[in-house]
Amino acid sequence: MKSCLLASLIFAMLCGMVEAEAAIQTVAIEGMRYVPERLTVQSGDRIVWKNQDLVPHTVTHETFDSQQIAPEASWSMVFRKSGNYPYRCKLHPGMHGTLIVR
């Protein structure tokens, strides 16, 4: 019984450590732009796109698509694979951003 309790405590601590290592990074969408337009993150980070405009936007890449993000809403994804992810908004051809995952 005691060792079981100890094991679950250690497990909880390890989970906490793994959780703490991955960061959450935010990209604002405002004024028909991604801010910042270019963002470098670490593999495992969760990226949140927050739409602060009055119109919907998307975050679209050949390997992922947020679909429409309503005003005031946000969309997030965890990126584990390193690489450059140039993305765009399907609704506004001039909107481009780049996510770089190290």
| Shortest Å distance, C-beta 32 to Cu ion | 6
- Round to whole Å and give the CA distance between 57 and 53: 8
| Shortest Å distance, C-beta 91 to Cu ion | 4
| Shortest Å distance, C-beta 54 to Cu ion | 11
- Round to whole Å and give the CA distance between 11 and 6: 9
Interface mask toward Cu ion for 7-46; x: CB under 5 A: ----------------------------------------
Among candidates 43, 5, 6, 50, which has minimal Cα distance to 27? 50
Measured CA angle at 96 (ends 82, 46), to 5 deg: 40
Q: Quick check: 57 binds Cu ion (CB under 5 A)?
A: yes
Q: For the chain, give percent helix, strand, coil, nearest 5.
A: 20, 40, 40
Region near Cu ion per CB under 5 A, out of 1-9, 15-23, 72-80, 82-90: 82-90
Number of residues counted as binding Cu ion (CB under 5 A): 5
Q: Quick check: 89 binds Cu ion (CB under 5 A)?
A: yes
Q: Quick check: 92 binds Cu ion (CB under 5 A)?
A: yes
